[in-house]
Amino acid sequence: MDNPCRWIHFLSIIVGFLSFFSCESSSSDDAVSRLKAYLRIDTSHPNPNYGPVTEFLVSQATELGLQVQKLEIVKEKPIVLITWAGLNTSLTSLLLNSHTDVVPAEELKWKYDPLLAFEDGKGNIYGRGAQDMKSVGVQYLEAIRVLKSSGYQPTRSVHLSYVPDEEIGGEEGMAKLVSSSEFQQLNVGICLDEGLACAEDYYRVFFGERSVWKLVIKAVGAPGHGSKLYDGCAMENLRESLTRIYEYRKSQFLMLQEGSKAEGEVVAINNVFLRAGTPIPSGFVMNLQPSEAEAGFDVRVPPLVDIADLETEIRTKWAPTSRNLTYTLTRLQPQPSDGLRLPTSADDMYPWWDLLQVAVQKVGGKLGAPMIRPSATDSRYIRNVNIPAFGFSPISNTPSLLHDHDEFLNAKEYLKGIKVYSEIIKAFSSHVDITDS
Ligand SMILES: *[C@@H]1O[C@H](CO)[C@@H](O)[C@H](O)[C@H]1NC(C)=O
Ligand SMILES: *[C@@H]1O[C@H](CO)[C@@H](O)[C@H](O)[C@H]1NC(C)=O
Ligand SMILES: [Zn+2]
């Protein structure tokens, strides 16, 4: 408690408790307070406080009369599953997913303490997770609160999953959940997960995302004196590889610059390390041409790219054995197959896209064209088990500040998002006109 910000945080928790017991003026104030309470639980890496999150979620679910399960497939990585049972449990269900962790904040670079959930005069609520994605996690529950109090009963079951560790790859979170028997029992037909804030007056929606590949290329060659010009040295072989890769990178970058492709539709390849030479205390040996050199790349591959073609490109152009080049390729997750489908209104088997659009329009919102997300989220695990997932956060007219300083969400936008989810949940969970297996 030597940091003054921490004191303020501590005081704000007390104030929060007091305001909980005093009577708040309206239900929207309560909904905002619950967002702030969630934001004030520090779940930033590397030491996320998952215990209090579980308590918070369990108490919300219990208050709403929903079924709740706590899973601890990995020790100290709790997953909370909340269920609003539908009238016909033989129909597939709707899953609303959110992650409970957040990335750390450089709090000294923020206007307000990122754990304070401070609301300024304009109604902007500042906090780590205000966009990514504690807001969404609370909005799901608030939407159910609204629907329950209106007497609505879902036909399909609605499940809420709160998973840890998305920000560090989800290996011990969503990856574990989708392969559990508890998940199978949910019988999920459609999933909603996080999207991105949009600065304009529409909501962004993603139906797929690029997958992450890690590529390391190694060159070998004849070592020799630093003064000598000869063929077949490792550095020259690696330079040749880099030239080919940067030609390819340029072709992708051009499409992006011209606007013929969106960010999620091009292959991104970036050199993240280079390693060669013989180190000595003052630097490197300067008169020796090394016999080995290595370069590492972060590669992001859109789902609709032909993987076999790309691998041929790597094998024959970027790392041909004729140039003494070898490579290792690590794919962080396989490409989704059936779980990924371009949403179209024409597809009878895929009613969710139309339902989503109509639901959003009902509250005066607009959806952008469905896109491929440039970066990875937990949705990839869902799509990999062949369940369609939309990446959607009801945040428009707001700069996208995920992982940035001063992440905020306006209270009005947050409250509107609750209405958006109420309509979506209603539309999805009452939809029965589909051949269900
Ligand atoms: C529940 O849904 C299944 C699958 O569509 C259908 O066959 C069944 O008749 C429904 N049951 C009720 C009670 O509506
Ligand atoms: C391949 O490496 C060997 C030594 O490891 C070297 O003798 C040869 O010249 C190299 N060839 C090419 C094409 O780089
Ligand atoms: Zn996120």
Q: Is 403 annotated as a binding residue?
A: yes
- Confidence at 62, pLDDT banded by 50, 70, 90: very high
Report the alpha-carbon distance of residue 419 to residue 360 in Å, rounded.
Answer: 9
Does position 24 have pLDDT exceeding 60, yes or no? Answer: no
Distance from the alpha carbon of residue 231 to the mean position of ligand 2, in angstroms: 8
More confident residue, 307 or 130: 130
- Going from the C-alpha of 361 to that of each of 202, 420, 427, 428, the distances in angstroms are 10, 9, 12, 14
Buried b (16+ CB within 10 A) or exposed e, 126-139: bbbbbbbbbbbbbb
* pLDDT, mean over the chain: 91
Q: What is the mean pLDDT of residues 286-305?
A: 94
For the CA of 432, the nearest atom of ligand 1: 5
- Kindly report, residue by residue over 397-406, the tens digit of the pLDDT: 999 998 889 9
- Confidence at 305, pLDDT banded by 50, 70, 90: confident
Q: According to the model, what pLDDT value does residue 22 have?
A: 44
User: Torsion angle, CA of 403/15/56/118, rounded to 10 degrees?
Assistant: -20
Q: According to the model, what pLDDT value does residue 28 have?
A: 86
For the CA of 237, the nearest atom of ligand 2: 14
CATH of domain 211-302+305-331: 3.30.70.360
Q: Which mutation among 89, 90, 187, 430 tests ligand 1's pocket best, with the greatest number of atoms within 8 A of CB?
A: 90
Return the residue matching tokens 């392969």: 179
Distance from the alpha carbon of residue 378 to the mean position of ligand 3, in angstroms: 8
Report the alpha-carbon distance of residue 219 to residue 304 in Å, rounded.
Answer: 31
CB of residue 415 inside a 6 A radius of ligand 2? no
Distance from the alpha carbon of residue 87 to the mean position of ligand 1, in angstroms: 9
**13-27, 136-150, 212-226, 278-292: segment of lowest average pLDDT:** 13-27
Tell me the domain boundaries of the chain. 26-209+342-430, 211-302+305-331
Does position 345 have pLDDT exceeding 60, yes or no? Answer: no
Distance from the alpha carbon of residue 298 to the mean position of ligand 2, in angstroms: 27
- Kindly report, residue by residue over 247-256, the tens digit of the pLDDT: 999 999 999 9
CB of residue 237 inside a 6 A radius of ligand 2? yes
Q: According to the model, what pLDDT value does residue 279 have?
A: 95
DSSP 371-432: EEESS--THHHHHHTT--EEEE----SS---TTSTT-EEEHHHHHHHHHHHHHHHHHHHH--
Q: According to the model, what pLDDT value does residue 207 have?
A: 87
Closest ligand to 91 CA?
A: 1
Q: According to the model, what pLDDT value does residue 236 have?
A: 97
Report the alpha-carbon distance of residue 341 to residue 344 in Å, rounded.
Answer: 9
Q: According to the model, what pLDDT value does residue 342 have?
A: 60
Distance from the alpha carbon of residue 430 to the mean position of ligand 1, in angstroms: 12
Closest residue to atom 10 of ligand 1, CA basis: 88
Annotated catalytic residue 101:
yes
The active-site residue, picked from 107, 119, 166, 172, is: 166
Report the alpha-carbon distance of residue 34 to residue 41 in Å, rounded.
Answer: 11
Neighbour tally for 356: CB within 10 Å: 24
CB of residue 146 inside a 6 A radius of ligand 2? no
Tokens read off for 360:
């959003």
- Confidence at 351, pLDDT banded by 50, 70, 90: confident
What is the rounded radius of gyration, in angstroms, for the C-alpha atoms of the chain? 25
Q: According to the model, what pLDDT value does residue 10 have?
A: 55
Q: Is 30 annotated as a binding residue?
A: no
Pairing of strands 158-163, 79-84: antiparallel
Q: According to the model, what pLDDT value does residue 330 have?
A: 92
The active-site residue, picked from 42, 101, 193, 265, is: 101
- Going from the C-alpha of 327 to that of each of 88, 151, 347, 414, 420, the distances in angstroms are 52, 60, 41, 47, 48
Q: Is 167 annotated as a binding residue?
A: yes
- Kindly list the protein residues whose Cβ atom lies closer than 6 A to any atom of ligand 1: 88, 90-91, 436
**16-30, 232-246, 264-278, 328-342: segment of lowest average pLDDT:** 16-30
Does position 231 have pLDDT exceeding 90, yes or no? Answer: yes
Q: Is 405 annotated as a binding residue?
A: no
Annotated catalytic residue 378:
no
Longest dimension (CA), the chain: 84
Report the alpha-carbon distance of residue 428 to residue 96 in Å, rounded.
Answer: 11
Report which listed range, 24-33, 180-189, 300-309, is most confident.
Answer: 180-189
For the CA of 233, the nearest atom of ligand 2: 14
Cβ atoms of residues 272 and 298 within 8 Å: yes
Cβ atoms of residues 148 and 64 within 8 Å: yes
CB of residue 222 inside a 6 A radius of ligand 2? yes
Task: Name the CATH superfamily for 26-209+342-430.
Answer: Zn peptidases (3.40.630.10)
Q: According to the model, what pLDDT value does residue 384 have?
A: 85
